[in-house]
Structure 1
Amino acid sequence: MTTWRSRGHRGDSSENEIDLTNDLYRRKKLAYIKKNPVPIKVIDIDNKGMITKGYFEQKAYVDYSGIAQGISIAFDVKETELKSLPLSNIHVHQIEDLKEHAKQGGVSFILANFKMYNEYYLIPLEILAYYYEKSLQGGRKSIPYGDMDKKFQIKREFNGIINYLPTINTYLSSKQELKRQYIV
């Protein structure tokens, strides 16, 4: 049970920061981004109301989805204490969900917290897909911090807000260049 809990809650601190940011965006009418629930079937509850037995009814979608200024957004939040983001932290169905979202005209990405450097980066779907496909062909199994493009670094505000909306605008203006650069 402890192993499942620790694995399932690895990104909680980063997700808490993103939740605060999304709440601020909603209050300022900049975006409406919600945390997607994890579909769990509860089997047993103890006398304190704690779930003691349950299972995932289906694979969960990515962590967040919503809309910002008329643009559909879907993303997952990941954090790492390493000098790279292991691709094993990103499930295949999450990559597929992000791809499907993008095919429908949405903006899909990963928000990665490189805790060692105390920095967040937006990792565009094009870059994620590139590293994922290369890993399937025997390439590296992670996205190195050294390959992070500073233009996709997300500014952390003085109040702890992870202000990722401006970085989405940078991503949108770079999409054609990324498609050429990260051909899979």
Structure 2
Amino acid sequence: MGTWNSRGLRGSTLEDFINRTNERYLEQGLALIQKIPTPITPVRMDKENRQITLAYFDQRSTVDYIGAVQGIPVCFDAKECNADTFPLQNIHEHQMTFMKHFEEQEGIAFLIIYYSARNELYYMRFEEIRSYWERGQNGGRKSVRFEELDPSFFMQLKGGIYVPYLDMLQKDLTMRDEQ
């Protein structure tokens, strides 16, 4: 399971690294993945400079990224966690609903979780997310312990790709084919 990158994110965000990864995947002709802007509602505007000066985030965004990988529809959300437990409250019900519907349309949904204290990146398959989510909804543990994660879905920096999720996506597809 080793570390993802010995220097860590060093002031950059997980999102920045995913965006750079997506640029590389596009340059290589492997994938077209776009960041979905977080919807906001403007409250106050500076009409002279045509700028929003006060706004609030709308609650009901879907996921952070959506696109296609070699003809396969893909959507995912990026989450950061600074402890060894990932709180399920970080995943909103409308996100679970969206990912479920996305999967029903033969797309692939997943999470990328960065465990900052351990400097580890994890690809969480939708089936795994759903099992933890249902456990929490049915009165069980409302977080995911680091020890519960599948060691084979941790990502390693590879060939200049900061967040090599395509390797994990391939593994995810292979597991689905075997079921």
**Length-normalised TM-score, structure 2:** 0.85
Q: What is the aligned residue count?
A: 167
Q: Structure 1 residue 132: deviation in Å?
A: 0.7
- Shift in CA distance, 50/83, structure 1 to aligned 2, threshold 3 Å: farther
- Residue number in structure 2 paired with 1:120: 121
User: Structure 1 regions of 5+ residues with no counterpart?
Assistant: 1-11, 180-184
How far off its partner does 1:51 sit?
A: 3.5
Q: Which runs of 5+ in 2 are unaligned?
A: 1-11
Match of 2:18 in 1: 18
SS in 2 for 1:65: strand
CA distance in 1, matches of 2:21, 2:125: 19
Q: For the aligned residues, what is the CA RMSD?
A: 2.1
Query: What percentage of residue pairs aligned between the two structures are identical?
Result: 34
Indicate the structure with greater helix content: 1
When residues 146 and 50 of structure 1 are mapped into structure 2, their CA distance, relative to the original with a 3 A threshold, is farther
- Higher normalized contact order (CA 8 Å, seq sep 6+, divided by chain length): 2
Partner of 2:86: 85
Which runs of 4 or more aligned residues in structure 1 lie more than 2 Å from their structure 2 counterparts after TM superposition?
45-58, 157-160
Is 1:76 the counterpart of 2:77? The answer is yes
Give the TM-score, by structure 1 length. Answer: 0.83
| Counterparts of 2:148 and 2:177, CA distance in 1 | 19
Alpha-carbon distance in structure 1 between the residues aligned to 2:159 and 2:120 = 14
Once the two structures are superposed, residues 115-148 of structure 1 have per-residue CA deviations (whole angstroms, 9 ceiling, x without a partner) of 1211111111111111111101111111111111
